Structure 1
């Protein structure tokens, strides 16, 4: 007769007969089940764990990275949305465009043309040739033409005459050329002084009429490059400058 230990344990090896074989088989099955339950394998541990949902990781430049803990794969997707910079909308421009435009004064440039074979220049009195031709409404076209004609008439006596041209023709003799050089330098200096005097007269008239318009002789020094030019400009109401030439 079999005891309880033989039936449950299944470790009695001397039992014979069909029943013994059956019990032995049952004991092996139970033993196999206990072995599986008591010693789970490493693969079973990984299979029984539910992998967590992939969590997105924000990257700079609008990219999102998904990391899968089970398969250790990385997927990168690029977003079409531009990155948002915090505080960008609070930045204000340093200069107001309306203020910059307001600071630009109105200016009329009086053009010139050559006379006496390029030895002298005259101011163009035609308002349509002024830059700009609409004169910024600072001065009427008739007044502009009359003012420039007066300046040209005052400069006429300081232009090169017949004697100066004769000295240039006899240039190879050297002495006439030296004479022309001395006369030319004197005429240039007197012409400059006459222009400054005419500018002063125009500005005195504008000031007496309480008009915010002044004339300037923008003189370029020797070797400075460029050419001297005459301009009529808008000035502030409190303009008190007495010198109307710009070097």
Structure 2
């Protein structure tokens, strides 16, 4: 009997442990998500609106912040915790609908989720992105006029702000690495890039230009040349369909 009770106790303890959620991590202004978005950091920690808000929620497209934008909502006196949360998700989903299909950029579904709520992270630590991510399209035209198109996503370690430089990696929708490169942003709306793409058989370097579209369709365009006389157009921040329609024939 004692043995049975001992086994039963162990089973109960294991079930309780499995059912206990991880303790939510409290947000800090030096966390990667706030360093990637200085405007969000300033508003969340420094504005009068957030200091009086009882409820605060931030929604982002996930996983890995698959589209480079966020929605932050701070409650007004008449808003409940649930109202604030639902407004953040609703606004994020509306932005996603304006953005367009992402099936050619990601093999996984990109959906809005609450990342931060009540000053705590609402995702497991492993789900929180530590770098920036965005859909990317490459259009390579060789010296004979033949065009190669690459749609996928990019991972980068900078916020596309003046004075920055950092690495950039291009992946297929399934996560296979296609290109590596660098980006530097000396000016407010322009910069430089270099790419080495063994899988697509080209290297290129050129200029970046920031295109401020209707939110959330702000994006960055890189135009460069290859050593053998080809040309490359790199579009960061637009889904493949929008990138193809606007830049695919250039």
TM above 0.5, yes or no, is: no
In the superposition, the TM-score normalised over structure 1's length comes to 0.21
Larger relative contact order (Cα-Cα within 8 Å, sequence gap ≥ 6):
2
**Higher-Rg member (1/2):** 1
In the superposition, the TM-score normalised over structure 2's length comes to 0.21
More strand per residue: 2
